[in-house]
Structure 1
């Protein structure tokens, strides 16, 4: 199985680079945000073919009960607030008839190992501005699924993969709760450790199964 690992930053996958090199697995650092992700991944998929795209990264969680460092797989990811204001209400892009905002994983024909299947599913939103207002967050916690995560790239990753027709999965580790911005409460090192421990375990088992 020819796998491409996709991350927004080098920091998010740095600890796993020796594993990539060992198995000769490609990785792509896109840059932060949906525009950078869609462009970089689309460009790479014009140049090379893959059997599976794996997007990994850290994320914020809207669930105050989530333990920092928790690793989750994303079932669907949505471009948040993609549409138009209509008075005091919001009109999604789908209702406007100009496109779609929600995209999902697509599993490959070859079965993935237990390291992936054993992760709990959740949904996510992708944003251009991470939320940091108590009033907005309180409202969103009533609108979004309880365990919803927030990143700046996931929906664009799914979108580019879908357009290219390539199987894709997304896995994220919780680095912070979505709250009034206070980086002292974040634990990025723990999230990165959990994410890379999972990624290396997944690749070790998946490559062994694929090469068997």
Structure 2
């Protein structure tokens, strides 16, 4: 198992992940799974502070165009994709082992800081449980290499108005570490079907 700090944001995460996947493939030891993990904002009440979320869909929430009629994702513009789906069986196994909620994890380039933006994201993505900044970039790199991806997030703060005093980063990191302790054997033995 290799652990990499890929940086903040989807572009940096994609570049770092793609570099690692390419190097492993060229060395004759390609990876069979990529895990994007970290802390996230949680949509309340579905993802309370300190809880874990495992993505059954990794979605770029703000990849598209603003129009007079509202936001249009790039898929509706005829370009690329905005979502990746992790292996369903692995998602269910991770949720069972950790108690993580299963739902969409949104990737954003700008963290939500208002109630209005949070409500708009929930309207467009009703199954969203969390938002973070790296998952879609990691998933794009994994897809380019034909490698399955899964995203696990620990909730450090609610999505919406920014109140740094209410953030629980330490609690979220502790929950993430505990979750990984429970799923490490599962990840190491998992094989694509």
* TM bracket, shorter-chain basis: 0.7 to 0.9
Contact 2:40 2:132 in 1 (8 A): yes
Q: 1:46 to 1:106 in 2, by over 3 A?
A: same
Q: Distance in 1 between matches of 2:3 and 2:18?
A: 14
Residue 151 of structure 2 is aligned to residue 170 of structure 1: yes
CA displacement, residues 10-60 of structure 1 (integer Å, 9 cap, x when unaligned): xxxxxxxxxxxxxxx211111111010110111111110112211111110
**TM-score (normalised: structure 2):** 0.84
Equivalent of residue 116 in structure 1, options 91, 94, 100? 94
Q: Calculate the aligned-residue CA RMSD, in Å.
A: 2.4
**TM-score (normalised: structure 1):** 0.77
Contact 2:53 2:129 in 1 (8 A): no
Aligned length: 183
Q: Which residue of 1 aligns with 2:56?
A: 75
Q: Which residue of 2 aligns with 1:5?
A: none
Aligned positions of 1:85-164 closer than 5 A: 85-106=66-87, 116-118=94-96, 119-145=100-126, 147-164=128-145
Q: Distance in 2 between matches of 1:139 and 1:209?
A: 37
Runs of 5+ unmatched residues, structure 2? 25-29
Runs of 5+ unmatched residues, structure 1? 1-24
Residue 3 of structure 2 is aligned to residue 31 of structure 1: no
CA displacement, residues 154-185 of structure 1 (integer Å, 9 cap, x when unaligned): 11111111111112211111111012110111
Q: Distance in 2 between matches of 1:65 and 1:101?
A: 23
Contact 1:63 1:146 in 2 (8 A): no
Structure 1 stretch 87-96 or stretch 200-209: which is displaced more?
200-209
Bigger Rg over Cα: 1
Give the superposition deviation at 1:142: 3.4
Equivalent of residue 42 in structure 1, options 18, 23, 33? 18
